[in-house]
Structures are given as structure tokens and as C-alpha cells.
Homo-oligomer: A and B are copies of this chain.
Amino acid sequence: MKNFIYNSPTKIIFGDQQISKLKEELIDYKAKNVLLVYGMSSIIKNGLYDSIISICKDLNINVIEESKVRPNPDISSVRSGIEKCKEHKIDFIIAAGGGSVIDCAKAIGFGVYFEGDIWDVYLRKADSYKSLPIGAVITLAATGTETNGNSVISNDETGEKRSVGYPISIPKFAIIDPTYTLTVNRHHTISGSIDIMMHIFEQFMSPTTDTMTSDLMSIGVLKSVINNTNKYINGENTYEVRANLSWASTIGLNWILGIDKIGDWATHRLSYPLTKKYGTSHGYALAMLFTNWARVALKYNEEVMKRRLTILGDQLFDGLDYKEVCNALDRLFVSWGARVDMTELNISEEDINSLAKNALALGSVGQVTEIDFKKTVEIFQLSNK
């Protein structure tokens, strides 16, 4: 186990109708001018937009909107939000929606205080040190971004997708009402479940030894995600199924499962150009790559991967041999309607080289084994047949 400092200060407000608690939070933070960041029409359809506006009206809060934030949010939304914050003296940001909306709000939050081009932060050419306070209202079980400092932003002009993580970006509170996720369609529900599992795998696939407590906790959350997603697939679209997935999503990436070890995160980095160029949903792109990453990683670092896959085989798949774990995961994802290859994207050999270059623009990725250009191409090629 490695030394660590863990600080997860987000106040989590979880459950049915908990949006009513937004009022006292806005009072506590003395919000006067709020930027409401959201996506397309889903928060209008499910009533969340009206709830937020009504609470702000009661409190005489001035609400400015940054709406139409896309999945894979573009830096243009961030720039637009920053301008609005400056113009309207915004003192609090409410992000209402899925992970993209919250990630965009985080970028706006520190962008307000950043001198220079905000994209430079995502290119790791500069750092950010201060942010407006953010409150998150999450409507999708997937990212866990509502209690962490991570933000992933795309740049349409350059074709890039990049991530940063800052403690200053951790939301002050997160309202998690699983009811909002009941209307999420099958495509995005499955993508979300895969995303939760992938966050746990990225932390779990680690060269750090002797991390049994967090490893077995992780297995527990993975089992719950698999079990509740299977229930959903079998027609149980209930509050209880959604609540368990929502709580798993938050725990999956508030770092309590992985703070004691070095995470890998290569699959995430390799998946970014896939979502950027082909519009594949984040979860599905991860499913197209993860087990092939694992197969390649097993080849180059047998010691670590054998140890990790053995735990998954023993604990998650009832004693399955470690060599069969990737196949079992593939079968699971396929049974949910996901693809575990990217053949449907019609990617040429040349495209693979360009995807690999894009994924590694900031250098090699991964911790279990260094994923350089050659190994990236190897993983993409495995997924392309």
C-alpha cells in the first residue's frame, strides 16, 4: 500500500426529491449571481430545470445560463461560460446534468481566475489555482465527477480531448437523486455502467502491492454494478436498481477505492481520440479497448497483470482462471449490447496510426506497463479485428 492523503470534502445529498436541499446550500454559500450550466433538454423534460429556477427565484438569485453543453464538452462552451461569469459577476456555479456538464462547469470555475488561454491548462502547459464554488446535480450514473476534481474537455478545432484534475474543482456539494436516472435510455444506461466499472478497473489495475482492503471493496462495488445492470437489462428499471448504480458511480471515482495505489488509466487515455473522432460514447469506447489493453499488459507485465486478473477471477467470477477473465468481461459487455471491438467504426490502418499519435500526444500512458506508440497500435489493432 502506498502513502496517501485523502480528502473528499463534497457534501453528498443522496435520494429521492433531494433537490429541495439545494435551497439551504445556496443560502450557505451566499450565492447571488449563479451560472447554471446544463446540456440539452433532459433537465427541462424531467423537471429539474424548473426546480432549480424556482429555488433561485425564491432566494432572489440572478441566474445566467450556459446551456447546450455537449457530451464530450467543447472548449467553446467553457470559453463562453467564463465570459458570462466575468460579465455577470457570477459567485456560484450550479452544474445540472451528466458528467460532461459538470466537467465543463469545473473548467469554467477555474477558467474565471486563469489569465491566458484556458486550453493551455488542458495541454498541461499551465496550472490553475483558484475556482468559483461549484454545486453539482448529477442526472446520470457514470462518471463520479460530482465528488472529484477531474475535468475532461474536448477541442473541436484541434481534434483533441484532454483531462486535468484539481482539488479546487471538487464540488462543494453533490445532489444525487437516482429518480433522474430512471428516464435515461438503455444506450446511455449501459454506457454508464461500463464507465463505472472502468473507473474501478483503472484504479484496480495497479503495480502497487498489498492493497487487499481497497481491492476487495472494489470487487464489491463491481459485483453490485454487474448485478444491478443485469437487473435493468431484465426489465427492472426501478428506483432501487438506479439508486445502487448511482451510489456505485459516486464511490467508483471519489478515490476511496484507489487512493492507496497507483492507478493505470491507459485505457481512458487511448479511448479519448475514439470518442472524439468517431462520436462513440465514453463507456462504449472503453469497452472496445479495455480487455485488449489487459491482454497486451499481461504480455508485457505478466507479474502484475497475473496478480490483478487472479483477484478478479477468484472474487468477481467465482474462481475463474486468470487467463479467462478478459473473455468473461467481453461476454458480459456483449450480453449488455456493447461491442468489445471497434470493427463497426471502419478504421483503417492509417487511421490507427493517427489515433495512436493523438492518444499519446502528451507522451506514453499507463502504469502497469508503459503504453508507448507500438503498444498503442498493438491494442488498437487487436480491437480492430
Contacts and interface: CB of A to CB of B under 8 A. Distances in A.
A6 B14 contact: yes
A248 B210 contact: no
Interface stretch (A35-43, A96-104, A239-247, A323-331): A239-247
A347 interface: no
Contacts of A217: 217, 220-221, 224, 251
A6 to B, nearest CB: 4
A84 interface: no
Contacts of A213: 220-221, 224-225, 228, 244-245, 247-248, 251
B18 A14 contact: no
A11 interface: yes
A180 to B, nearest CB: 14
A362 interface: no
Contacts of A243: 1, 210, 260
Nearest to A2: B15
A24 to B, nearest CB: 11
Interface in A1-44: 1-9, 11-18, 21
A20 to B, nearest CB: 11
A244 B208 CA distance: 13
Nearest to A5: B13
**Chain A interface residue bracket vs B:** 35 or more
Given A212-B227, A213-B244, A216-B221, A7 B12 contact: yes
Interface in A244-267: 244-245, 247-248, 251, 256, 260
A214 interface: yes
A43 B243 CA distance: 44
Nearest to A178: B1
A12 B254 CA distance: 14
A226 to B, nearest CB: 10
Given A221-B217, A223-B216, A209 B15 contact: no
A194 interface: no
A227 B227 CA distance: 25
A219 interface: yes
Contacts of A169: none
A220 B219 CA distance: 7
A218 interface: yes
Contacts of A214: 247
Given A9-B9, A219-B220, A228 B212 contact: yes
Contacts of A6: 11-12, 14
A359 to B, nearest CB: 32
A17 B13 CA distance: 35
Contacts of A16: 3
A364 to B, nearest CB: 27
11 contacts: A5-B11, A6-B11, A6-B12, A7-B11, A210-B240, A210-B243, A212-B244, A213-B224, A214-B247, A216-B224, A217-B251
Given A3-B18, A14-B260, 4 more contacts: A5-B13, A5-B21, A9-B9, A217-B217
